[in-house]
Amino acid sequence: MLDAKKAAIIRVAFAAALLLFLATSVGISSPVQKAEGLENPQQPADCSSILKILVEEEGSFLENLTNPVLTSETQVQERVDFYREVKPCLSDLEGILPTDDLELVETLVDRFLILVGGVGQRIDLVDLATTNDAAVVELRDNLGLSPPKGLIYISYFDYRYELPKQLAWAFKKPEIAAITLPCRFIVVLKSPELFPIMNRLFPGQVALSKEDLERTISHEFVHAYLLAQLGAKKELPKWFHEAVAVYFSEGAKELSVNYTFGDVVIGTVSAEAPEKYKEYDVLVRYLLFRFGEQGFYETIKVAVETGSVEEIFQKTGSHDFEDLFEKAQEWEENSGREKTIRGIMIGEGFVLMFVVVLFISVWRRETRK
C-alpha cells in the first residue's frame, strides 16, 4: 500500500504548498516580491478554502482518497461533489507541490470520480457487514475478522472499449475480468474479450456467465475486505492476499488482478499467471495441513490485524516466502507419492482378491466334477 514515511512526506509537502498557495491567493507578498515590485497571481477565491478542507479533514487526506470510509449514499454523493470541486483547483498547485506528489493526488481524485462518480454503466455500493456473499460470510462470521467500516464500490463495464483510459491499462490482458484497486474499489468487465462482436457471434461463451461473474466478484470482495481493513498505511505481501482470496472465494481466480498502490500510480499490469494460482492453492493446502482449519483461520486473522505474516513464517520454520513455498512443494510431492503408493496397494489388493475368488470358483467347479 502507501508507505507511511512516503505518506507523511507527501502530507507535509502538500500542507506547505497549500500555505504558500493561500499566501499568494490572499495577496500576501514576500519581502523579495515587494522589493522587486512583482505582482501576486490571483487564484479563484473558492480554491483556497476547498484545498484547505481537503488537507484539514479528519485523517490523512491520502488515506481518505485511497480508503474512503463512507457509510451511506448521501455521504458518497457529498464526497463526489467535493472532489469535483477539488479537481480544477489542483492545477493551481503546479510548480508549488512536487510533480510526483501532485500527479499522485490527481490520479486518486480522478479514480474516485470515475469509479464512484457514475462513469461506469452501473455502480453498486456494498456493505461488507451485511452482504450475504459466501466468501464475505466466511471471513466475517467464521474467521471472525471484523468487516471494515464503510462501503465497497463496484463499478461495472459491459465492454472493453467502454473503459476510460484511466482504467484501460489494468485490463490490457484480454482474459482479465475484474480488478481490485486499493483499498475498496472493484472494477468488473463483464465481457473480457477485446472485441464485443465475439459476444454476438458466440452468445454466452465470451461474456462472463452469471456463475463466473458471481465467483469473480466474490474473489474481489476478499481482496477489498483485506485491503480496506489494512488501510493505506499497512501492507501484506501479494502471495498472502491471493492465497486467502483463492481459499475463500473458491474459483474465478484466474480472471482477477489485485493491484498494489504502486501499480495504481504507475499503471503496471501485474496479473498472475494461472501457474501462480496453483502455487497459492498448494500453499493454502499446506498451511491447512500444518495448522488445521481452526489454526489456519486464527493465523490469517492475526496476519490481517497486525499487518504482518511473521507468525506464519515462525510457525512453519520458514525464512521467507520462497522458503515457505519450498516446504509446501515438498509436502505436496510427498503427499502425491503417498497417494500413488496407496493407490498401487489398493489396486494390488483388488487384483489379489480377484485371483483368490477366481481360484475358489475354479476349485469348486472342479470338485463338483
What digits encode the pLDDT tens for the residues 178-187?
889 888 999 9
b/e map of 206-226 (b: 16 or more CB within 10 Å)? bbbeeebbbbbbbbbbbbbbb
pLDDT of the residue at 326: 93
CA distance 249 to 241: 12
The alpha carbons of the chain give a radius of gyration, in whole angstroms, of: 28
pLDDT of the residue at 11: 59
The string of pLDDT tens digits covering residues 162-174 is 888 888 888 877 7
Residue 323 has pLDDT above 80, yes or no: yes
Residue 134 has pLDDT above 70, yes or no: yes
Residue corresponding to grid cell 478554502: 49
CB atoms within 10 A of CB 229: 22
What strands, in cross-sheet order, belong to the sheet with 178-181? 122-127, 151-157, 185-189, 178-181, 256-258
pLDDT of the residue at 301: 94
pLDDT of the residue at 37: 32
Residue 63 has pLDDT above 50, yes or no: yes
Average pLDDT (265-290) is 72
Largest CA distance in the chain: 131
More confident residue, 179 or 274: 179
Specify the pTM. 0.75
More confident residue, 328 or 234: 328
pLDDT band at 47 (very low <50, low <70, confident <90, very high): confident
